[in-house]
Structures are given as structure tokens and as C-alpha cells.
Amino acid sequence: MKLTSFRIVCLTMITFGLVILTGLPPAQGADTAKDQVAVVNGTVITRHELESEITLAKNRMAAQGQPITEEVTKKISEQILNQLIDMELLLQESQKQKIEATDASVAEYIKKFKSRFKTTEAYEKALKELNVSEADLKEKTKKGLTVQALIEKEVISKIKIPDTDRRSFYDSNPQFFKKPEQVQARHILIKSSDKDEKAQQDKALEKIKQVQKEVKAGGDFAALAKKYSEGPSGKNGGDLGYFGRGQMVKPFEDAAFALEPGQTSDIVKTQFGYHLITVTGKKAASTTPYEEVKEKIGSHLKQQKTNELVKAYIESLKKNAKIEKSL
């Protein structure tokens, strides 16, 4: 399991679009007054908390090859500080409403999380590399699940997506529900490259011609693929399953889509070598029926509404909060 996933799932616990992370211990020897970057209703958010998150965010970006300019760093800093403030507001509201995740729910979450690592050693190594103890992990998990319970009570439980909204989305976005034409095929590949010497290319061509003769003589295509094909699908009888246009190289695609089920192509040359293709099935272009996707549409619309209402809920908390930024 990658550390990026570890960070997202547990230490930041991104829930409903919010970074759930508070309570990092201040750096040893830090002057709390000088170290603070914000105060939320009397609770201090330290520079150490902020910089720890900024460093992790920049590391993720660097791992993805994204440039980290001064402007980008400034933007990240502002975003993370705002997220930390939002998180603190939600935690404080949870306390007011006496909402708290149970120890059992925290233990269950930690158990599931640990199961994502192949070994206990891998799990402990991840904690060590992130300079986080298991006690810290449990504390942050508890805070994350507590806020999740608050959001469930104050926002999610109140969201209803009527069927008219789902149907309207379906009718207004037909591009999301179109199924392109597909073919199901098997192939036999004899590898050859334009970079090969002519004698080698001629040998490959002669071999595919001999295989073609066996196919035309009534040989079982799948069995011949297992025997002769040099492609990775050979062990499966050359089976490629269903595929649409744009998934295969152009010469292969053109040949496959020109065939009807039961037909076999002539020899087809691609950058990979020489192919024989037989089509075993075909699906015409179609549109997925509404009944098959209405639940997914409902989930999508509910998530959109959740994001919108969580932001509004946080803004309502801010109206009655005293927030001071010193960054």
C-alpha cells in the first residue's frame, strides 16, 4: 500500500471533501504564541500543524511530477489552513452536540485499515516514516469518525434525491449512458517488427501463413492460438474479450470491426507483428436503460448535494465563531 493512500485515508481522512486533521503536537521547544497561525474560538492551530500538512501535500505533488512553485506553495498553504480551521469548527460543534465516535468504531476502522498492509512490519514502517504513533492514529481516526457522524446527522440524513431529479440528469446527459459498438475477438500473433532483419520478418510471415492454412482447414482457432500465438492472450486461446474502437491499434481495429461473428480475417500486419483475428461476438451501439443506472445517478447527485451543503453548514458555523488568522 502506498504512503499516499495511507495519508489520505487515516491521517487526513478526507471525508465529504474536508481534510480531517487536528491536534498534531507542537514541535518541541516551540513558542506557542509565535507558532500559532490561527485561533478558532480560543483553540490554537500551530505553524507546526500547518507546515506538516504542507510538506506532505508537496511530497504528493512531487511524486506525481507536478511543479511546486512559490505561487503553488502559497495557494496550498491557504487551502490547508482553511481546511484546518473548518475541521476545528466541526470538531467543536461535535463536542457541543455531545457527538463522539465510539471506541469500538475506531477499533474497527483501525483494524480494516491495518488489513490493507501485507504485514504488521509494513504497517509499522508506514507509521514510522510519517512520524506518527498508533496512539496518534487512533486519536485522529476518532476525530475523523466523530466529524463524519456530525455531518451524517446535520447534512446527509436530510438529503433526499427525488426520482424526477435522477430522471432529469439522465435525460440531460445522454453522453454518459451511451455504449459504443463492441466486438469480441480472439487472435493469433506471430511477433515481428520493422526493425527486424528481412530474413526474420520473412520467417514470421511464413509461420503465420502456415497457421492460417490450419485455420482454413478447420482447425480450432482457440487451440491453435494456445499452440502458436506469441501474444499474452495465447494461453487463453487468444481471447481478447469485448473491446470498442480506440482500444486496439488501427489496423487491428479496422479488421476486427469489419468481420461478422464466426468470420476470420486475412493476415493483418501491425507494429506488433502478424495477426489472424476471429470475431466471436458483436454488440451494437446502445444506451444504458434508466432503470439500470438510476441508483448510481442518485448516489452521484447525493454526493454533489452533500459537498454543497457541507460547505454551507461550515459557513453557518463561521458566522458565530471567532476566527483569527496570523499567517
Confidence of residue 140 (pLDDT cuts 50, 70, 90): confident
Place of cell 458555523: 317
Place of cell 504485514: 119
| Residue 221, beta-bridge partner list | none
3-class DSSP state for residue 188?
strand
Looking at per-residue pLDDT, the higher value among 38 and 23 belongs to: 38
| pLDDT tens, residue by residue, 68-103 | 898 998 999 999 999 999 999 999 999 999 999 999
Backbone angles phi, psi at 90, to 5 degrees: -65, -40
Is it the case that residue 31 has pLDDT exceeding 80?
A: no
Sequence-distant (≥ 6) Cβ neighbours of residue 282 within 8 angstroms: 181, 182, 183, 184, 260, 261
Judged by phi (left if over 0) then psi (alpha if -120 to 50, else beta), residue 98 lies in left
Confidence of residue 34 (pLDDT cuts 50, 70, 90): low
Confidence of residue 32 (pLDDT cuts 50, 70, 90): low
Q: What is the pLDDT of residue 155?
A: 96
Is it the case that residue 268 has pLDDT exceeding 60?
A: yes
Backbone angles phi, psi at 263, to 5 degrees: -90, 150
Ranges 123-132, 178-187, 238-247: which has the least confidence: 123-132
| Model pTM score | 0.67
Q: What is the mean pLDDT of the chain?
A: 88
| pLDDT tens, residue by residue, 285-315 | 999 999 999 999 999 999 999 999 999 999 9
> Could you write out the DSSP letters of every residue in 127-185?
HHHTT--HHHHHHHHHHHHHHHHHHHHHTGGG----HHHHHHHHHH-GGGSEE--EEEE
Evaluate whether 35 touches 48 at the Cβ level (below 8 Å).
yes
> CA-CA distance, 137 to 128, in Å (whole number)?
12
Here the cell at position 45 is 492551530
> CA-CA distance, 225 to 152, in Å (whole number)?
55
Evaluate whether 100 touches 139 at the Cβ level (below 8 Å).
no
Q: What is the pLDDT of residue 29?
A: 46
Average pLDDT on 125-154 reads 88
Average pLDDT on 181-210 reads 96
Domains observed in the chain? 3-161+299-325 (1.10.4030.10), 178-286 (3.10.50.40)
Looking at per-residue pLDDT, the higher value among 55 and 300 belongs to: 300
Q: What is the pLDDT of residue 195?
A: 92
